[in-house]
Amino acid sequence: MTKITKTSLPGVGVKHEFVTDDGRRVGVVHHRTGKRELFVCEASDPDAATLNLSLSDEDSHALSDALGGSEIVENLTHLRQQVEGLAIDWLHVEEGTPYVGRSIGDTRTRTRTGVSVVAVIRDDLPFPAPEPDFEVQAGDTLVVVGTPEGIAKVEDLLSGG
């Protein structure tokens, strides 16, 4: 897999970049203001960004959809959403783990960890705000909100710990 390097830009934000197969540097600058900037470097001056494109949230989603990937968006959203002690995470439910076949209410996730399941993603389809009787299946992705510690506990529970 292509390696993405992360560089901190003090006072500006964070830069994620990688080098394409034909040797061109491509990356995204995440400004702290929330602005995202896509840049591409020319082969003749590999240090300089020659194409700059400012992207809104929706533009970024559209672009990443067009490229056919959602993993990066998830990761980046993850980075951005560490709101004062509040964390959002996407947890995959593997085959053969304790949550499979149980309803969300039955897993008692919220009671045990304080973490809420705010959505379930199944076959790329989102099910926002699932009811307590929503049954979890293997391969689902749970979108959870809570404290980072709570989410870590949920991860333990999910993997049968």
Partner 1 sequence: MNEVASLLVELGAVILGLGLVARLAARLSMSPIPLFLIAGLILGEGGILPIVTSEEFIEVGAEIGVIFLLLMLGLEYSADELVDGMKSVAFSGIVDLLSNFIPGFVAGLLLGWTVVPALFLGGVTYISSSGVIAKMLGDMGWTGNRETPIVLSLLVFEDLVMALFLPILGVLALGGTAIGAVLAALIALTAVVVSIAFAHRQGDRMGTFIFHTSDEVSLLTIFGLTLLVAGIAERIGVSAAVGAFLVGISVSGLSAERARVLLAPLRDLFAAVFFLFFGLSTDPGKIPDVLFVAVALGFLTAATKVWVGRWSARRAGIGARGQQRAGLLLIPRGEFSIIIAGLGASVAGGQQLPALAAAYVLLMAIAGPLAVRAQASRASKRAPDAAKEPVTDTFGR
Which positions touch partner 1 (CB under 8 A)?
A: 7-12, 15, 17, 25, 27, 29, 31-33, 37, 39, 41-42, 44-54, 82-85
Report the distance separating Cα 120 and Cα 135, nearest Å: 10
Rounded to a whole number of angstroms, the minimum distance from the CB of residue 11 to partner 1 is 5
List the end-to-end C-alpha distance of the chain, in Å, as a whole number: 30
C-alpha separations of 123 from 46, 73, 91, 114 in Å: 40, 17, 14, 27
- Shortest Å, Cβ 59 to partner 1: 14
Instruction: Kindly give the interhelix angle for 57-67 and 71-80, rounded to the nearest 10 degrees.
Output: 150
CB of 70 to partner 1, least distance (A): 23
Identity of the residue, 2 or 44, whose beta carbon is nearer to partner 1 in the bound complex? 44
Q: What's the gap between Cα 140 and its chain centre?
A: 15
Looking at beta carbons only, is 17 or 94 nearer to partner 1?
17
- Whole-number minimum distance, CB 14 to partner 1, in Å? 10
* Between 39 and 134, CB nearer to partner 1: 39
Nearer to partner 1 by Cβ, of 50 and 56: the residue is 50
Cβ closest to partner 1, residue 27 vs residue 130: 27
Residue 48: partners with Cβ closer than 8 Å, 6 or more residues away: 41, 42
- Give the residue from 36, 29, 26, 27 showing the smallest Cα distance to 14: 29
Cβ proximity of 29 and 14 under 8 Å: yes
Least distance CB 23 / partner 1 (angstroms): 14
